[in-house]
Amino acid sequence: MNRLRKIPQRMCVGCGEMRDKKALIRVVRTPEGAILLDPTGKKSGRGAYICSNTGCLTKAIKAKRLEKALRLPISPEVVDALKVQMGEV
């Protein structure tokens, strides 16, 4: 018997679209308070998911959805660093 497995779904904080967990990039607030991209999806901390395009990141930052999801104010330096890292991913 071949059983189908459930594929975990997550919602992008930028556009609000539900996608497969592997298709999204995880942004993590570590226990120390740093905000990082987590391409593996395994770092510890509070996470939020964003589509791989920079438009969703811009929307999430403008509407302060990323701040609400991570429960931490985000400085402009961190925003710039996230945009640079998103370009590399």
pLDDT in tens, 20-77: 999 999 999 999 999 998 988 899 999 999 998 888 999 999 999 999 999 999 989 9
Whether residue 2 is contained in a domain is answered as no
Model confidence at 1, pLDDT cuts 50, 70, 90, reads: low
Whether residue 77 is contained in a domain is answered as yes
Whether residue 4 is contained in a domain is answered as no
This prediction has a pTM of: 0.86
Per-residue HEC secondary structure of 35-86 comes to: EEEECCCCCCCEEEEECCCHHHHHHHHHCCHHHHHHCCCCCHHHHHHHHHHH
Count structural domains, the chain: 1
Report pLDDT for 85: 84
**CATH code of the domain containing 56:** 3.30.1230.10
Whether residue 1 is contained in a domain is answered as no
Which residue range(s) make up the domain with 36? 9-88
